[in-house]
Chains A and B, each alone.
Chain A
């Protein structure tokens, strides 16, 4: 399946992209996709427990499974205001 990963703030700095398309196995979870990303972007390992995830603009649990054409956003705790 094809997914788009959007990265923000510290995650964008680590990954070096703000939006990128990936082709991955069908039915993978956020957690499995993150594990795969961590191989290419090692510092993500240190942040794993602190990151937040959203699929198609809605917060999700790390065990959420993705579907074709989903947009997965990965980011640190928010700090607006």
Chain B
């Protein structure tokens, strides 16, 4: 099962994980990207993600399709937030399942690394005294 969601609301982590995995799977792996309260020595108050929805859907589908072709995944769920995200909330959840753990680990790493390079979503950090777009990382 492949599932891709972009949502403004907080991610229901336990519900997402409960959807991942079947009886043939020996591995269910979840990656959660969390909004942290410090960046470049500055205190972050919250984040805000801007998204180009139509292109983000297409780019995310390419990533999930490629991961499912390359690795032996049973389920692959990717949920990404947009809009404001509070500190300690999940900004992204990736849940994959596979009969063997190596496929889950390698696919999960590929998915998050590629999202950070190709899916048109931009993070803006809010500080106590200003804001900044984060556009200089890979």
> Which residues in B have their C-beta under 8 angstroms from that of A9?
50, 122, 124, 133, 135
| A44 close to B (CB within 8 Å) | no
Residue picked from A50, A54, A58, most chain B C-beta under 10 Å: A54
Of the candidate stretches B7-15, B18-26, B97-105, B109-117, the one touching chain A is B109-117
Q: Which B residues are CB-close (under 8 A) to A6?
A: 52
Q: Specify which of B58, B119, B124 is in contact with A78 (CB 8 Å cutoff).
A: B119
Interface residues of A in 16-60 (CB under 8 A from B): 50, 54, 57-59
| B56 to chain A: closest residue by CB | A80
Of the candidates A12, A59, A79, the one whose C-beta lies within 8 Å of that of B135 is: A79
For the complex with contacts A6-B52, A54-B120, A79-B137, 20 further pairs of A-B residues with Cβ separation under 8 Å are A8-B50, A8-B52, A9-B122, A12-B50, A50-B135, A54-B52, A54-B55, A76-B122, A77-B136, A78-B118, A78-B121, A79-B116, A79-B122, A79-B135, A80-B92, A80-B119, A80-B122, A80-B123, A81-B80, A81-B92
A10 to B135 Cα, complex, angstroms? 8
Query: Once bound together, how far apart are the Cα atoms of A9 and B120, in whole Å?
Result: 10
Contact yes or no, B52 A80, CB < 8 A: no
- CA gap between A13 and B138 in the complex, in Å: 22
Interface of A is mostly: mixed
A57 to B62, CA, bound (A): 13
Inter-subunit contact B116/A78 (CB<8 Å): yes
Interface size class of B (residues with CB under 8 A): 20 to 34
Number of A-B contacts (CB under 8 A): 73
Tell me which residues across on chain A come within 8 A of B108, comparing CB atoms. Answer: none
B92 to chain A: closest residue by CB: A81
Instruction: Return 8 A-B CB contacts under 8 Å, by A number.
Output: A8-B122, A9-B133, A75-B52, A77-B138, A78-B118, A79-B123, A80-B92, A81-B92
Q: Is the CB of B55 within 8 A of A78?
A: no
B33 in contact (CB, < 8 A): yes
Residues in B neighbouring A76, C-beta threshold 8 A: 122, 133, 135
Q: A9-B122, A57-B54, A75-B52 are in contact. Are A80 and B135 (CB under 8 A)?
A: no
